A and B are shown apart, each in its own frame.
Chain A
Amino acid sequence: MVDDVALLEALRVGDERAFRELVTRYQTSMTRVARYYVRSDATAEDVVQETWVAVLRGLERFEGRSTFKTWLFHVLVNRARTIAAREARDVPADASDDASALGRRFNEGGMWTDPPTPFTELIDNGIANERMIRLVHDAIARLGEPHQAVVTLRDVEGLTNGEIAQLLELSEANVRVILHRGRTKVRAHVETSLRGGTR
């Protein structure tokens, strides 16, 4: 895979394929993070579009002191905040039901009643197979906010907890709590699908 730096160089000289590649690389994550701030998918798409315009116009000013990815998400979050403020809406509280996919898995003593077993059907030669990849991305797509934004930034895009805390204006401890809940749900979704459960 061509790295971001090479794509940026190409972008600076107007290479359309480089742009297409960057869009493909980041579109899904950008939309999810935008969705953390704005009310609808349509608005989130607008935010993403405005972000790309700002990025293209600001290309000259990007000095590579942060990674392109970090810069991109900063621009995105700034746009999303502006629009969210226009929507006169606060950042959503954690409204989701994490009161746990796990609640009923423990007995009164807190031990497993039905212990997890390895995801052997989802691993080929030690790595996740196609089915696992689909299940995980499907699970992330189903997460509510703020879990979706945090899991996307941490586990999909690989930002640090510190970077995410700064970006979303949360404490690092808060980011870790949200991350934990998000991961718990993703794992539970995979397990449930595997067991043929419907949820």
Chain B
Amino acid sequence: MKLRSRPLVCREAVEFMSNYLEGALSRRDRRRLEYHLRHCDGCTNYLEQLRLVIATSGTASPDDLNADVVDGLVEVFRRVRDESPQ
């Protein structure tokens, strides 16, 4: 016996999207989401925004690293490098 799934509303659809992109939805939920997306521009835009956000997260940020921190670590590096071997 197969229960017919109730269609998703937008509020529910957005809750599924991260897992959809992770490939972690059940087949049934994936179908429900894909069905909703075919009929909803708002959610389709939302999913595209999410994809863009994720892709952008993996792009190195314009360098805002504190130079003092790096220099401090380089000092540490020199110390460890020059330790006499045990």
Q: What count of chain A residues pass the 8 Å CB interface test?
A: 51
Query: Are B65 and A27 in contact, CB atoms less than 8 angstroms apart?
Result: yes
Query: Smallest Cβ distance from B30 to chain A, in angstroms?
Result: 14
Q: Label chain B's interface by main secondary structure.
A: helix
Residues of A within 8 Å of B37, CB to CB, are none
8 Å CB interface, B25-82 against A: 40-43, 45-46, 48-50, 52-59, 61-63, 65, 69-70, 72-74, 76-78, 80-81
Residues of A within 8 Å of B69, CB to CB, are 27, 45
| Contact of B9 (CB < 8 Å), options: A20, A110, A130, A155 | A110
Query: Smallest Cβ distance from A42 to chain B, in angstroms?
Result: 11
Query: Smallest Cβ distance from A22 to chain B, in angstroms?
Result: 10
Q: What count of chain B residues pass the 8 Å CB interface test?
A: 42
Query: Are A106 and B10 in contact, CB atoms less than 8 angstroms apart?
Result: yes
Q: How many A-B residue pairs have CB under 8 A?
A: 126
Q: Which residues of A contact B (CB under 8 A)?
A: 14, 16, 19-20, 23-24, 27-28, 45, 48-49, 52-53, 56-57, 102, 106, 109-112, 115-119, 122-123, 127-128, 130, 132-134, 136-137, 140, 151, 155-156, 158, 161, 176, 179-180, 183-184, 186-187, 190-191
- 18 A–B contact pairs at CB < 8 A? A16-B74, A27-B70, A28-B65, A49-B73, A53-B76, A57-B80, A112-B10, A116-B43, A116-B46, A117-B45, A119-B52, A128-B52, A155-B58, A158-B58, A183-B50, A184-B14, A187-B46, A187-B50
Q: Which residues of B contact A (CB under 8 A)?
A: 9-12, 14-15, 17-19, 22, 24, 40-43, 45-46, 48-50, 52-59, 61-63, 65, 69-70, 72-74, 76-78, 80-81
